[in-house]
Amino acid sequence: MKCSSGCTAAKVVDKYRPHEIVALVKAGYSEELINSDVIWACSVCLKCVEYCPQRVSPFEVVMTLRNEAITRGITPPKSFVEMAKSIVKVGYIQEPMYIMSKEFEEVSRTELGLPEMPKPKDIEKFKQHVLSVGFERLREVV
């Protein structure tokens, strides 16, 4: 239970306990987890992977559960959907944003003299591939 002692998410999300997730999966309760939003709380810090004395990776278990939830047509937290949509559209989780400088100017790449963000050359082909490697299971994206 070292994982739950050191887990970043467990310190701020009471119901998130990596050891419990692994134990539930082992005991055959995956269904419960797939249908719960708790699997989306992981902060991807990988401490559980690093310090587990049994060489278990709760992180991998959680990612597998997330994948399975998507396969079942369960909608993940909204931001994940937005990021996925954006990848399909422009190849990145979001497009360049305007941010406020200390001088209260709204600036983005052009204003800062930065070149245009390089995007996938053949965006249609890229989109097709992204969908084929799993994004097509996400209803909101298709």
Partner 1 sequence: MVEGEEIRIGVYVCHCGINIASVVDVKKVVEEASKVPNVVVAKDYQFMCSQPGQNMIVEDIKQHNLNRVIVAACSPRMHEPTFQKAVERGGLNPYLFEMANIREHCSWVHEKEKAAATDKAIKLVKAAIAKARLLKPLKVEKVKVIPRALVIGGGIAGIRASLDIANAGFEVHLVETRPSIGGNMARLDKTFPTLDCSQCILTPLMVEVSKHPNVTLHTYTDVVGIDGSVGNFKVKLLKKPRYVDESKCTGCGTCVLKCPWTAPNEFDMGLGKRKAIYFEFPQAVPLIPVIDTGHCMYFQKGTCRACERFCPTKAIDFNQKPKEIELEVGAIILATGYGLYDVAKAMPEYGYRKYKDVITGLELERVVSATGPTKGHILRPSDGKEPKKVAIVLCVGSRDEKHLRFCCRFGCVAGIKHAYYVVSHIPDAEVYVCYRDIRTFGKGYEEFYERVRNYENVRFIRGSPMEILQDADGGIYFDVFDANTNRVVTLRPDLVVLETGIVPHPTFKEVAKVLKCAIGPDGFALELHPKLRPTETSVDGVFLAGAVQGPKDIPDTVAQAGAAASSAIALMSRGYVETVPYVSSVNEDLCSGCGICQPLCAFDAISLVKKEDGKEVAKVDVSKCKGCGVCAAACPSGAAQQLGFSDGQILEMVRTLAR
Partner 2 sequence: MKFLLFLGCTTATKQYGYELSLRATLPLLGAELEYPKDMNCCGVPMKGISKFYPYYACARILAIAESQGLDVVAPCNGCHLNLTETIYKLKLNPSLMGAVNELLKEEGLKYMGKATVYHPVEVLHDKVGVEKITSAIKRKLPEIPVSSHPGCHLLRPTEFPRPEVRNGPLKLDRLIEAIGLKARDYPEKYECCGAAMIPYSPEAAIRVVALRIKRALAAGSRAITSLCPYCIDMLDGKQDAAKTITGDQNLSIPALYYTQLLGLALGLNERELGTNLNMSPVEVLLEEVKV
Rule CB under 8 A: is residue 19 a binding residue for partner 1?
yes
Helices (H) and strands (E) in the chain, counts: 8, 2
Name the DSSP letter for residue 25: H
Question: Of the ranges 45-53, 59-67, 100-108, 127-135, which one interacts with partner 1 (CB under 8 A)?
Answer: 45-53
The answer to whether 89 contacts partner 1 (rule: CB under 8 A) is no
Rounded Cα distance, 9 and 82, in Å: 22
Among 28, 53, 73, 113, binds partner 1 (CB under 8 A): 53
CA distance 86 to 90: 6
Helix (H, G, I), strand (E, B) or coil at 108: coil
Our finding on whether 85 is near partner 1 (CB under 8 A) is no
3 lies in the binding site for partner 1 (CB under 8 A): yes
Of 43, 41, 21, 17, the closest CA to residue 32 belongs to: 21
Does 41 bind partner 1 (CB under 8 A)? Our answer is: no
**Beta carbon nearer to partner 1, 4 or 62:** 4
Our CB check for partner 1 shows the closer of 11 and 109 to be 11
Q: Please, which residue, 28 or 121, has the CB nearer to partner 2? A: 121
* Amino acid making up residue 49: V
Amino acid found at 55? R
Which residues of the shown chain bind partner 1 in the complex (CB under 8 A)? 1-7, 10-11, 17, 19, 47, 51, 53-55
